[in-house]
Amino acid sequence: MKIISPIVLLVMLLISPLTSASSDIVVSHSKVSGISTPYVGVSLGSADYDLANDSSPSFSIFAGLALNELLAIELGMADFGDVGNFATRSEASAIYGSVVANVALSNEVSAFGQLGLASWDYSVGSLNDSSVDVFWGVGLDYDIGRDLAARFAIQQFSVDASFSNNAAQNEDILNVNIGLIYHF
């Protein structure tokens, strides 16, 4: 997979300065533990295609590793559905890797910011392209129980497509979703 090495590089660059700074910060949260904890999640939402001026149901699955109370790394897949009319349909999907920074707001609620790389596939009619671009996200996690949390997230994906007929299309996809996370 061509996305692995850029993601590893991004994670290493972002984590190294943050880990030394995070040692001075004290966070009170219900998931406090001294070891890294893996998690998996699924979400449903709505993907708003800016250029197409339309939206579609979206679906995401993801897995992550909480390195400590402040940082996690996350890999996922998002299907943004398809939009448009019968003559011109647009559809997109992405596989992504990101660094997630968490801040506890209470024992049950934490806010997060997400920054990463997305390997996207995009098609308009019979034209298609794929590449890698930066994406970002923000959201809230709410601890429902000991191992289960609800997530509300807003993610912005940029698709800078160049098709074989020298046409270019820059589509921004805003994915608003809600989901469940299971911590192991």
66 domain-assigned: yes
150 domain-assigned: yes
77: pLDDT strictly greater than 90:
yes
CATH number at residue 102: 2.40.160.20
pLDDT, the chain, mean: 85
- C-alpha–C-alpha distance, residues 80 and 160, integer Å: 16
Which residue has 């708003």 as its token pair? 48
- 96 and 80 in contact (C-beta within 8 Å)? no
- 92 and 121 in contact (C-beta within 8 Å)? yes
**One-letter amino acid identity for 134?**
V
Which residue has 């699924």 as its token pair? 42
30: pLDDT strictly greater than 70:
no
Longest dimension (CA), the chain: 57
The pTM assigned to this predicted structure is 0.79
6: pLDDT strictly greater than 50:
yes
- 114 and 74 in contact (C-beta within 8 Å)? yes
- The predicted structure's pLDDT at residue 1: 40
24 domain-assigned: no
Residue 44, number of CB atoms within 10 A of its CB: 12
The number of CA neighbours under 13 Å toward the Cβ of 64 is 25
Q: Worst-scoring range by mean pLDDT, 21-25, 51-55, 97-101?
A: 21-25
21: left (phi over 0), alpha (psi -120 to 50) or beta: alpha
- C-alpha–C-alpha distance, residues 73 and 115, integer Å: 10
Domain span at 126: 4-19+29-183
pLDDT band for 21, please (50, 70, 90 cuts): very low
113 domain-assigned: yes
Strands (E), 50-167: 54-66, 71-84, 89-104, 109-124, 127-143, 148-162
Tally of domains in the chain: 1
